[in-house]
Amino acid sequence: MAIVYDKEKGLISLHSRNTSYQMGIGPYGHLLHYYYGKRGEGDFSYLFQYKDRGFSGNPYDANADRTYSMDTLAQEYSSFGNGDYRIPACSISGSDGEGILDLRVDRVEIFSGREEFLGLPHAKAVEECETLRIFLKEERKRVEVELDYILYPDEDVIARNARIKNISEEALFVERLDSLSLDFSYGDYDLIHFSGRYGMERLYRREPLQQGVKHIASMRGSSSHQENPFGILAGRNTTEHSGDCYGFALLYSSSFHLDVERDSYRGTRVSLGMQNDNMHYLLEAGEELQSPEAILSFGDGLSALSNQLQSMVKKYIAATSPLPYFPILLNSWEACYFNFTGEKIIELAREGKALGMNLLVMDDGWFGKRDTDFSGLGDWVTNEDKLGMSLESLGHRLEEEGMHFGIWIEPEMVNEDSALYRAHPDYTLQIPGESPIRSRSQLVLDFSRKEVVDAVLESLISCFRFVPLSYIKMDMNRSIMDVYSHGVNFQGRGKILHRYCLGLYRFLSGLKEAFPNVLIEGCSGGGGRFDLGALYYTPQIWLSDNTDAIERLEIQYGSSFLYPIQCMGAHVSQVPNHQTGRVVPMNTRAIVAMSGSFGYELDPKDCRKEDRAEIHKQIAIVEELEPLMKEGSYYRLSGYGETGGYTPQSEDRVSGKRFTAWSFVSPDKKKASLSVVWRDKNFNGANEILYCKGLKREGKYRLRLLLQGGSFQDEAFVESLLERTYSGFSLMEVGLPLPEGKGEYDSFLLLMEEV
């Protein structure tokens, strides 16, 4: 068994392939945390130092023992009101407002496999996983809390979730129910988190923890563009190559918080869960509330941690594509926005097919009265006057052209100028008697209500029933504000956001059930709902509405710390770029988009003759490298200049400031790709060198140039590099000097193959 419970000592250990996690039951029944890190055997409770700390209270049953305080002990799942002044993982309040909660271990269970729960994303059950379930109760027997630890030993990952049950005879309110909490008694840590804004999401930010609380959160009813429900705790000297680091990620698509507190004795607490400071979830007598699931992992170096998390996501969390082919899509949005007809879509498809693309996606504007974003949203009826044909006829015409058909939807939203809103204004989240907050000229449908979800789902199923669809892009173009539902009374308002998220998941399940052979891509104005909860239902998510290749480098860099590359929606777009006006070489745009699901967002007729030839070549390369990028390990080979704070990477071998580089290495290490993009140019600049990762140290490799954006300054030097045979040791430890381009934003893509 990978999970061992020594009942006599009250010691519980979880062992994966490379890690150990240990907790214990304290002398008064509290669940205490001892150790998480590299695998090892033994009793690590000796790490605890019991000291009398002034102004830190003691449990009543500790009597004269003033060294035992919940305010200073490392705990597994902290609660509010038991003498611990740090951030709690769990908090309740009764009808009288009182909220003292002192949780103690009642019993422990261990079983093979795991319990899967309906309605919420979770890591899939597999034969080799084991579950530790710990039941916590409080003395007055108002609530019972179940903690699940599901060990995935081959992945070095633990999934955690919590469930609270009201076992009293009165209603109470859950103020906080975090999915995981974890205390570290020792160590100086940096917090790595991934903040941003619309169009620049998940930017890498690293900062040293000081005494106090760091609060990372979204209050927007989605995981948001501004923050992401994922963070890393890294030792001060941890780099890509080595050092302790812990990753924490939530499988949830609504408001969340990640709180990290460094206390007055240099201890660190991490607590991750749903919603924020306004939960106040009504729990009637006998009811229970299930938290979302979270995953955590320990790694030696950021690269190792990323690969463990990405492997877990690929194998056990993210949905898989139902398509029997690798889609190379052409999206209509930047080619024509709202201005199209059915014949225009067919013409786009014909042009795309000639270049090697196989999927045409018709974006916003095909339904209702929808020639701008001020009207029509919510009316899922084909605008045949605009298209000049039915949706079914358009799909079959595309099939005749040899192209698959994809379409855009935004089911959670409605315009006031729509038949749906005129018939059912009560279907929206809107405070009675108050003017609603508009965003993008739209309101939010109340997906916390089953009848609203069912109505939207049925209208889309009816619309698409006879259409030969292969792909659906599902968007969400605003945040939630007016949190009022006709489906609950005043006391139940704390349930709305969570029920909305459950309604979203129910909608996605219904859509997948109705169209099992259709690939669904998630989207929220790009990356506003890029999280593991969404990936559980959609195999890929549009990474960002910013399609500028150079800015995408930083977005992809930050996203790669958790999310597998093939989950990232990435397209080659037109130049000058529609968001920034930047002009980037065609092959550089393609090399960047190849680190994603890959596709095109342009009008092929606007491409130059030489660019059209390059598109053929790009698609052939993507199809060649697709197994490598899907199954291989991903390595960041350069840091990023703007880290938002202190980072030891400036002293590491990944401190590239003028270029961004990354690679994929096959599982057998016989093949690897290497992508390099020059972000900046200097007159008479210093030479740059790059150190590869993940290769066989004693292996022999040859380099093959697959694609080049721009031209090299010294072609003879490049030829000399390509003529040589290299050992893995040479490429990883001695390094590969980088040939620089002549122009701005030049790039190259190499394939390293064992000989």
Helices (DSSP H) in 424-548: which residue ranges? 450-464, 496-514, 532-535
CB atoms within 10 A of CB 83: 18
156 is catalytic: no
- Helical pair 586-593 and 549-559, crossing angle rounded to 10 deg: 20
Whether the CB-CB separation of 398 and 349 falls below 8 Å is answered with yes
Interatomic CA distance for residues 352 and 599, integer angstroms: 11
Interatomic CA distance for residues 367 and 246, integer angstroms: 46
Whether the CB-CB separation of 153 and 2 falls below 8 Å is answered with yes
Pairing state between β 413-414 and 671-678: unpaired
3-state SS, 561-579, equals: CCCCHHHEECCEECCCCCC
How is residue 617 annotated by DSSP?
H
Interatomic CA distance for residues 469 and 475, integer angstroms: 17
545 is catalytic: yes
Interatomic CA distance for residues 434 and 626, integer angstroms: 52
| Strand, helix or coil for residue 133 | strand
Amino acid (1-letter code) at residue 50: Y
Q: Half-sphere exposure of residue 278, counting CA atoms within 13 Å on the CB side? A: 12
Interatomic CA distance for residues 674 and 656, integer angstroms: 15
Query: Residue 498 to residues 222, 292, 531: CA-CA distances in angstroms?
Result: 10, 10, 16
Tell me which residue of 564, 566, 572 sits closest to 593, measured CA to CA: 572
Catalytic residue, chosen from 148, 244, 263, 545, is 545
Q: Is residue 262 classed exposed, middle or buried when 0-12, 13-18 and 19+ CB atoms within 10 A define those classes?
A: buried
Pairing state between β 359-362 and 329-331: parallel
3-state SS, 163-223, equals: EEEECCCCCEEEEEEEEEEEEECCCCEEEEEEEEECCEEEEEEEEECCCEEEEEEECCCCC
Q: Give CA 304 to chain center in angstroms.
A: 18
Q: 154: Cβ–Cβ under 8 A, 6 or more apart, which residues?
A: 16, 17, 128
CB atoms within 10 A of CB 52: 12
Q: 281: Cβ–Cβ under 8 A, 6 or more apart, which residues?
A: 173, 174, 175, 177, 289, 494, 495, 498
Percent helix / strand / coil, the chain, rounded to 5 = 25, 30, 45
Catalytic residue, chosen from 475, 531, 603, 652, is 475
Interatomic CA distance for residues 129 and 126, integer angstroms: 6
How is residue 733 annotated by DSSP?
I
Could you give the residue numbers annotated as active site?
A: 475, 545
